[in-house]
Amino acid sequence: MNYVNALDQVIPLDAEYLVASHVIPVTGKENVRDILVSTRDATQYLYDQTIRGMNAGYTADELSRMIELPEHLDNHPWLTKARNDVSAHVKQIYYGNFGWFEGNSAFLNAVSLEERSHKIVDGFGGVKSSISSLQVAIDNEEYEWAAELGTYILNVEPDNLKVKLLTAYVLRVLSFGSEGMDERNWLLTDALELEGKITIDRNAFTQTSPEQMAELPIDKIIRFLPTKLDPQKAAGMNTVLGVSYSDIETDFTLHVRNSILAVADGAPNNPDMTLTLDSDTHKLIIGGHLNVLDAIQSGQAELSGDIDELVEFLNLFDNVSVSSNGIG
């Protein structure tokens, strides 16, 4: 609804041109207004009808199959399902407002996906029988179910090449029928991974280049640090680090206690150590692109306190390993 409210502010501008983020520009006041109003109303329609269905007791799965845009909006040339289809948006609205629990107490403490996979495969009579059922589902063009069943089998036998290739085939078929680019890209990427044609490093998603890091405000980066703390390494620690930025005259207090990192504005009263540097230098250190020891030795950073204690502090965070040999 923030998007709807934003469009409500843009529509009265009566603009001649519309230049959006991901699509072609639009020319002409009537065209611009038609597109903005149609987008706004389609968005509100999905929101309103999802909330209406939630209040009537329907689940996310039920609503994602029930709700469709009115014909005049569904057929609007601008409202193609290029990103995601309606069902995906309905689920996002549902879970964003209601949370994960849909009112069925059987799933309050559901078994893990791994355990569920073993029980389903065992219930089908084992891996061999499950593969036969997978092939039947493919023959019957029940591709959504085939993809799910293939996943269960692979959770039991992750290296089963036949199931990998069958599941990859199913995902490719599903991608051919998908209008949404996000959905299609997920399907094709998973298919390529199952076929062994690509390898996906999940850790790479959290890596940030120096160029990206340079564009981020330092206060945003600092407040993201608590999510990088390893609680096992931090167990029993009670350490306060003050960080002072010479270029922007801003200070932060970083306090590790109770296996969490508490971040506060301002300099600490009695820190165990204080690190003084400019914000760009700290961004390079946080991103793993500059060794903090090198920064101190070169004069880019100044430490008040024990260097070994600083090394121990920084080693508490994921993807940053600081030692006398550098950052690994």
What is the 3 state secondary structure string of 79-148? HCCCCCCHHHHHHHHHHHHHCCCCCCHHHCCCCCHHHHHHHHHHHCCCHHHHHHHHHHHHHCCCHHHHHH
pTM of this structure: 0.79
Q: How confident is the model at residue 280, as a pLDDT?
A: 93
**Residue that the structure tokens 């600490």 belong to:** 268
Q: Token pair for residue 173?
A: 């078929």
Looking at residue 206, what is its pLDDT? Answer: 59
- What pLDDT sits at residue 209? 74
User: Which tokens go with 32?
Assistant: 């611009």
Taking alpha carbons only, the member of 230, 250, 207 closest to residue 313 is 230
Place of tokens 């009115």: 70
Report which secondary-structure segment, H or E, holds 260.
strand 260-265
- The number of residues making up the chain comes to 328
Q: What is the β-pairing status of strands 239-245 and 273-277?
A: parallel
> Which domains are seen in the chain, by residue range?
2-98 (no CATH), 113-200 (1.25.40.880), 210-327 (3.30.1050.10)
**How far is the C-alpha of 305 from the C-alpha of 290, rounded, in Å?**
20
Number of alpha carbons in the 13 Å side-chain half-sphere of residue 57 = 1
Q: Can you give the pLDDT at residue 267?
A: 97
Contact 118, 148 (CB under 8 A): no
Each of the 328 residues of the chain gets a pLDDT tens digit; together they read: 999 999 999 999 999 999 988 888 999 999 999 999 999 999 999 999 999 999 999 999 999 999 999 999 998 988 876 666 899 999 999 999 999 998 889 999 999 999 999 999 999 999 999 999 999 999 999 999 999 999 999 999 999 999 999 999 999 999 999 888 889 999 999 999 999 999 988 766 656 777 888 888 999 999 999 999 999 999 999 999 999 999 999 999 999 999 999 999 999 999 999 999 999 999 988 877 888 999 999 999 999 999 999 999 999 998 665 654 444 3
Question: Which residues have C-beta within 8 Å of that of residue 36, sequence separation ≥ 6?
Answer: 7, 10, 11, 18
Quickly tell me which residue has 């891996």 as its tokens: 127
